[in-house]
Amino acid sequence: MPRNFFGHQTFKGRGVASNVPGRFDSLTLEQTDDGWYQDEIVENLTETVLPDRARSVITSNDSPDVGFDVSINPYRGCSHGCVYCFARPSHAYLGLSPGLDFETKLFYKADAVKILEAELAKPRYVCKPIALGINTDGYQPLEKRLEVTRGILAVLTRCRHPVTIVTKSALIIRDLDLLSDLAKHRLVSVMLSITSLSNDIKRTLEPRTASPQARLRVIEQLSQAGIPVGVLVAPVIPGITDHEMEDILSAAKAAGATRAGYVLLRLPHEVKILFREWLTEHYPDRAKHVMSLINQTRGGKDYDSQFGTRMRGTGAYAELLGTRFELAMRKLGFAASRERYELDTRLFRPPIPDSAQMSLGF
């Protein structure tokens, strides 16, 4: 899949401005001005959507600091365009850039429902809560048309299988019928990710996501429907959004959130390059200060991937964030940050193949 953009240019509705080389690229390109094609300016980038012919959809997780054992990611790449997305480097495995390619070259699990049913029907399958849409948002704009996430959720509902969801999209309300059914049996929990309450920050940081106000309305609607919902203040960006932590928690609590968490900005692999470009473009006056604060939380580096500290960071600044978070939690009446909402795995019933003989009913 050839790339159709090279260089550095801001596009409306896109989070990054370049196609940074992937870390596995054998060749790298360097832009130079040779005087040719000066009038040929790319106005927009075409979105490409292709099927991902996966042999399985359930992925096991062995990271000790992540709160789930198995997950399903309906999509690869994400048109939300969040500049900070920790999943961007995964596009390098496809020979694509974690930059603009990640936002415009998208893949979907074409046979997700069929494969999932086969996996759940295996005799040795052990039911554990499935984290849906963790690497990339399962409710990104493409989902409105393809409904891969809804298909997966329908299977899990039918099989009484527990599921957890993290999203920053208002599209999740479309599936209120399935979520409500799951909630009746303690089989679902949802977390809405809110980075900032400022629309101006949101427009450049995560351009194609729902507005902060829309996400708060989603929390309210889910809460009113009896669906356990919380807020994830993520990522906390030093010098950009860190001052909003208490305000986000307060607004989410007022909307009906009962649980909360936070994650410090993570800059793995190519993301550190893209984030530095974003800072230079949108916050040139404080770019050095922001990176200095980030480095203070990462042992002097842009990122430290060590389990146990990568989500919260280390050092005085990181400790201050943690203290602020815990104080706000107690003041607002949230459940303790270490208290997990346990889902019921005892109700699971494997799917019945279409070809299976029907039981006699009297």
Dump pLDDT digits (tens) for 112-151: 999 999 999 999 999 999 999 988 999 999 999 999 999 9
Residue 142: inside a domain, yes or no? yes
CA distance 121 to 40: 54
What does the pLDDT read at residue 39? 46
Residue 350: inside a domain, yes or no? no
Residue 111: inside a domain, yes or no? yes
pTM: 0.87
Residue 300: inside a domain, yes or no? yes
Beta bridge partners of 163: 130, 188
CA distance 91 to 99: 9
CB 74 within 8 A of CB 109: yes
pLDDT tens per residue, range 187-246: 999 999 999 999 999 999 999 999 999 999 999 999 999 999 999 999 999 999 999 999
Residue 323's region, left for phi above 0, alpha for psi from -120 to 50, else beta, is alpha
Residue 65: inside a domain, yes or no? yes
Residue 7: inside a domain, yes or no? no
Domain that holds residue 322: 48-332
Domain count, the chain: 1
Residue 30: inside a domain, yes or no? no
**Which among 116, 114, 106 has a CA at the least distance from the CA of 137?**
106
Residue 349: inside a domain, yes or no? no
Q: Write the CATH number for 205.
A: 3.20.20.70
